[in-house]
Structure 1
Amino acid sequence: MDQHKLRALVFEKTGVRIDIDDPVFALVALNEAVLEEAVECHIARIDAASRQLAAQAGHAAAPAATAAPAIAPRELRLLGAACVIALISALVVLGGQAALRQPGLSSEQQQALRRAARLEQAIQQLDPRARAQLQAELQK
Structure 2
Amino acid sequence: MDQHKLRSHVFDRTGIKIDVDDPIFALVALNEAVLADTVGRQLAQLDAATLALAAQARAAGGLPPLPDLPAPVPAPTPAPASTSTAWFTPREWRLLGAAAIVSIACALLVLGGAAILYKHSPASPITPIKNTSS
**Pairwise TM-score range, normalised by the shorter structure:** 0.3 to 0.5
Q: TM-score, normalised by structure 2?
A: 0.46
Q: TM-score, normalised by structure 1?
A: 0.44
Greater RCO structure (CA 8 Å; 6+ sep): 1
More helix by share: 1
Rg (Cα) greater in structure: 2
